[in-house]
Amino acid sequence: MVPVKDRKSAALYERASKVMVGGVSSPVRAFKSVGGTPKFIRRGKGSSMWDADGNRYVDYVCSWGALIHGHANPAVSASARAAMSSGTSFGAPTETEVRLAERVRRSMPSIEKVRFVNSGTEATMSALRVARGHTGRSILVKFEGCYHGHADPFLTKAGSGMATLDIPVSAGVTAGSVGDTVTLPFNDIEAVESEFRKEGDKIAAAIVEPVGGNMGVVLPADGFLPALRKACTDSGALLLFDEVITGFRVGPGGAQGLLGVEPDLTTLGKVIGGGFPVGAYGGRGEVMAEVAPEGPVYQAGTLSGSPVAMAAGLRALELLTKGGYRRLEEASAALQEGIESGAEKAGVALTTNRMGSMLGEFFCEGPVVDFTTASKTDTGAYGRYFWEMLGSGVYLPPSAFETAFVSLAHSDADVERTVSAAGKAFRAVKK
């Protein structure tokens, strides 16, 4: 492993820790699960980013999946600059948000109307309120290991940073806040059918990541999503797909387009903002008609529909082509195969799951099909692997329960370099 210079990052972390909680603005960035000092990033370009000490990394975090075109894509950046030159915020509607909404609707037929917000958490929180307002019911069904943002009703047995920090339920979340939340095992059709038989007439919505992306990557089992769709339809509950990660990441129609299951409501984020803060929720017209000013479900936001985020997001979606998705699939498949081969040669137990350009690595024997099996991963081994890869100039998620992302900026040479680094890292981990 090549030693990583960290003097400036360490100094910045020391300064940050005096004025920012944990020295970071989001928990996983603190490197608590892998140890060491977090890297403070100075700039990014294409598939790479550079930290404060000048270390260069091939980046597979990609702003947690948002940067499908890589860092500082010229066309996306130009669109953002043009929007900024006309004004950064108006608190009034703009043509750009109409165009982005039209683009989303064309790509995802289940979304007849959409509301833009500022984050994925805002989107899921609002969508749940709409579901409860539409159905007049209270119970929310969610699944272990699926993270839907940090609104109180969702913080039970969630993935993402809560899995990383081993927090089953956040402090400050009252029993009343989660009293109407029922958490079931992911991919368990029997558990779904049993719960809906018991409480179906009280369930407002079932929310799920159609492809789990916050416990590593966990794919839906055959029949799981169709069974969930049927249970919701039969009971009058709404099916809510959280596609904040998968939307436009795994394909132009999101996971629902690939898997052929249509939800009543969908939440989006990340890719649709082109690297700027964004979120959205949308669905069937009669359901979205519940939202103010058309209906009684209130939700508002000063910076919702930010002209800069809308412009960057629209350009990011315009740049996505069938050829681009083929390229992402080819590069991601080559990365997965190379990593698996390296682990096998080193005698390291590794299971990989992938959907398109989303890749999860689990240091355990497979299969990994839910949060219980994902939790068998050797987090200590992942931590050692993470630092070996970082020393070779490859930046992976600083958590064993997060997803690695490939962007259109990643070249064949980047993939080859990563596979080579992984082979060395696995040998070091084995020792």
Q: Report the alpha-carbon distance of residue 426 to residue 391 in Å, rounded.
A: 13
Q: Report the alpha-carbon distance of residue 100 to residue 81 in Å, rounded.
A: 17
Report residue 85 CA to chain centroid gap: 30
Catalytic residue among 59, 242, 264, 414: 242
- Which two structure tokens, joined as six digits, stand for 72? 């500082």
Q: Report the alpha-carbon distance of residue 229 to residue 206 in Å, rounded.
A: 9
Q: Report the alpha-carbon distance of residue 61 to residue 184 in Å, rounded.
A: 29
- Which two structure tokens, joined as six digits, stand for 260? 């052929």
Torsion from C-alpha of 201, 207, 210, 213, nearest 10 degrees: -150
Catalytic residue among 57, 270, 370, 385: 270
Amino acid, res. 275: G
Q: Is 270 an annotated catalytic residue?
A: yes
Residue 338 burial (C-beta neighbours within 10 Å; 0-12, 13-18, 19+)? middle
Which strands form 181-184's sheet, in the order they lie side by side? 113-117, 279-283, 265-269, 238-242, 203-208, 139-143, 181-184
- For the chain, count helices (H), then strands (E): 14, 14
Residue 273 burial (C-beta neighbours within 10 Å; 0-12, 13-18, 19+)? buried
Q: Is 395 an annotated catalytic residue?
A: no
Q: Report the alpha-carbon distance of residue 375 to residue 408 in Å, rounded.
A: 30
Catalytic residue among 13, 57, 147, 395: 147
Q: Is 147 an annotated catalytic residue?
A: yes
Torsion from C-alpha of 280, 283, 288, 291, nearest 10 degrees: -20
Strand partners, 116: 280
Q: Residue 77 in contact with residue 313, Cβ under 8 Å?
A: no
| Cis? peptide before 367, omega within 30° of 0 | yes
Residue 261 burial (C-beta neighbours within 10 Å; 0-12, 13-18, 19+)? buried
Which residues are the active-site residues?
147, 242, 270
